[in-house]
Amino acid sequence: MPVVFIPPHARRFVNGQKQIEVEGSTVEKLLRNLETEYPGIWDTLCVDDALKPGLAVAVDGNMSNRGLHQAVQTESEVHILPAVGGG
């Protein structure tokens, strides 16, 4: 099952857990499923059906610009990180 690493500011919604295994084939499905069990986490990370501005998703170590639409595999690690711009 994919593992979502919970950003520090969202851990208060998941009883302080740092990572949670959750079902889903996309980042959106993972976060929707988390929201079902831990209400409040969706609004902390997302707005208008997208990740909040300034946040980005990394799956298996790679930053993605697909946001919530990024596909995940059953063994994937998902991180929510600051969006980064290069020079």
Partner 1 sequence: MATAESDKTGLSSKGKYKVIGTRPIRPDGVDKVTGRARYGADIRLSGMLHGAILRSPYAHARIKSIDTSKAEQLEGVYAVITHKDFPDASDKIAELGEGSVNLKHLSSNVLADDKVLYKGHAVAAVAAETTHLAYEALDLIEVEYEPLTPVLDVRKAMQDDAPILHENQRMEDMSPDATTSDKPTNIYKKFFFEQGDPDAAFEKAHIVVEREFTTATVHQGYIEPHAATAVWSAEGKVTLYTCTQGTFTVRQQVAELLGLPLSYVKVIPTEIGGGFGGKIRVYIDPVAVALARKSGRPVKVVMDRASVFEATGPTPGSWIRMKLGVDAQGKIVAGDTEIAFESGAYPVSPIGAGCMCVFSCYDIPDGRIIGYDVCVNKPHSAAYRAPGSTQVAFATESVVDEICEKLGMDPIEFRLKNASVEGTRRVDGVAYPRIGLVETIEAIRDSEHYQTPLAGPNRGRGVASGYWMNAGLKSSVTATVNGDGKVSLVEGSTDIGGSRASIAMQFAETLGIPMEDVVPAVVDTDSVGYTDVTGGSRVTYATGWAAYEAALDVQRQLCDRAAEFWEVDSSEVTYDKEDAAVKGPDGKSFGFVELAEKVTQASEPVVGRGVSNHNEPGGAFGTHAVDVEVDPETGKVKILRYTAAQDVGTAIHPSYVEGQVQGGVVQGIGWALNEEYFYDEAGVMRNASYLDYRVPTCYDLPMIDPILVEVPNPGHPYGVRGVGEVPIAPPPAAIANAIYQAVGVRMRHLPMSPPHVLHEILKKEG
**Site residues (vs partner 1, CB under 8 A):** 5, 7-9, 11-12, 16, 53-54, 58-66, 70, 77, 79, 81-87
Quick one: 49 or 53, whose CB is closer to partner 1? 53
CB of 56 to partner 1, least distance (A): 9
Quick one: 4 or 24, whose CB is closer to partner 1? 4
CA distances from 29 to 65, 84, 85, 86 (A): 17, 24, 26, 29
CB of 84 to partner 1, least distance (A): 5
The C-alpha atoms of residue 67 and residue 50 are separated, in whole angstroms, by 7
CA angle, corner 31, sides to 27 and 63, nearest 5?
A: 35
